[in-house]
Structure 1
Amino acid sequence: MKGQLIDMFFSEGAILFGRFILTSGRESEYYINVKKLSTNPEALRIIARLMAEKAKTLGIEFDRVAGPELGAVPIATALALETGKPLVIVRKKPKGHGTGSQIEGEVKPGDRILLVEDVTTTGGSVLRAAEVLENVGAEIAAISVVVDREEGAGERIEKKYRFIPLVTVSELFARRNSAGMEE
């Protein structure tokens, strides 16, 4: 399944080449658009199954699945459906109306959360989401990402949490190079 997912990055046009500014503010010669895959039911199903299998294989126990808005929401939703675990969505900012909550879904003190993200570069976004969850008493069981760009996120996240990338940029480009794919 992992090889199938890697192939889908190319067949679905989820990797673009050019000049891009990333969420982290860094400039990059390539852009990984996991949303191209997370909006495709077949690819999203593969992502959820791989995340569920990897968590099970590693013995990671969790009560809920969470994802920061926006890119991680379909992934977290699919993983919640795959595992039967409740879904939690972490907003970037507290909403300005109603309860003013930054979290959608129930989180009880002591709940173990499998936090998911689409792509990590520095890890800043997912670490902010982890902090929001911890501030309401949750424990982060692990952080699982679809793609690790291998630009420091793994090292930064692993200082405090278990880090589980499904695919690394090295693996994507190794497949691309072995298949003779052009930019």
Structure 2
Amino acid sequence: MDYKKKFITLSLRKKALMFGKFKLKSGRISPYFFNSGLLSTGKDILKVGLFYAHLIVNSKINFDLLFGAAYKGIPIVIATSIALSHYYNINIPYSFNRKEKKTHGEKGLFIGKNVKNKKVIILDDVITSGISINHACEIIEKQGGYISSIFVLLDRKEKINKNLYINTYNKKYNINSIITMKDIILYLIERKELKKNIPDLIKYLQKYSIFENKNILI
């Protein structure tokens, strides 16, 4: 839990994690918003890489390539690769995709190591609807790679709609996250100046979360 608290503290200090009213791509009005792009200094991205490296090593998942989903996954995958090498002596190649396939030179879809026949861990910042993650999975599998797992900073743990749940991806691809909204709420309980945000978060998650037990803190 300590590394979770450290990550939430960093995110709040850098205003990467904010509370208020935010319209999401899905059209939902969320009482919180996370923007990993604000973790943009050398120290910040090094810490992010270490958080991922810690989680990956402790997961004991078998893999031989890290993949960063464009665009926010690109600095993440580089930082994580460096952290694994420098702090854990695990030298793993990385790759990331282009949004548009290159039409000259090698005409490649990827930058870095080819994913073919590789056991791949996908790194991204947030999973909400799963659209960008699903796209990354599709292009990796189409190029002959195998998905070992998916790692994100924040898993919002939300339904896509009333009939389709994001944990469909979790069952298929094994999603791991540094934090979930459950971790954020537990963190806020200990912070008097931030506790006022909890009721709106609980109300939102009772409506949209994948948790079958609506008391999500159990």
Structure 2's unaligned 5+ residue stretches are: 85-90, 160-164, 198-218
**Partner Cα distance (1:25, 1:132) in 2:** 27
CA contact (8 A) 2:115 2:140 kept: no
Residue 140 of structure 1 is aligned with which of 139, 142, 147? Answer: 147
Runs of 4 or more, structure 1, over 6 Å off, are none
Residue 12 of structure 1 is aligned with which of 11, 14, 18? Answer: 14
Please report how far the alpha carbon of residue 51 of structure 1 lies from its aligned counterpart in structure 2 after TM superposition: 1.9
Aligned AA (2:77):
A
Instruction: Identify, as 1 or 2, the structure richer in strand.
Output: 1
Please report how far the alpha carbon of residue 108 of structure 1 lies from its aligned counterpart in structure 2 after TM superposition: 4.4
**Partner Cα distance (1:34, 1:108) in 2:** 25
Which secondary structure state, in structure 1, belongs to the residue aligned with residue 92 of structure 2?
coil
Structure 2 residue aligned with 1:172: 184
Greater mean deviation of Cα atoms: 122-131 or 82-91: 82-91
Q: Give the CA RMSD over aligned residues.
A: 2.2
Report the TM-score when normalising by structure 2. Answer: 0.74
Please report how far the alpha carbon of residue 114 of structure 1 lies from its aligned counterpart in structure 2 after TM superposition: 1.0
User: Aligned residues, how many?
Assistant: 182
CA contact (8 A) 1:122 1:156 kept: no
Whether 1:74 and 2:75 are equivalent positions in the alignment is yes
Please report how far the alpha carbon of residue 49 of structure 1 lies from its aligned counterpart in structure 2 after TM superposition: 2.1
Rg bigger for which structure?
Answer: 2
How far does the alpha carbon of each residue in 1:106-148 deviate from its partner, in whole angstroms, 9 at most, with x for none?
A: 2242211111010111111011111111111111111000011
Aligned AA (2:187):
R
Whether 1:118 and 2:125 are equivalent positions in the alignment is yes
Report the TM-score when normalising by structure 1. Answer: 0.87
Structure 2 residue aligned with 1:36: 38
CA contact (8 A) 1:154 1:163 kept: no
Which secondary structure state, in structure 2, belongs to the residue aligned with residue 158 of structure 1?
helix
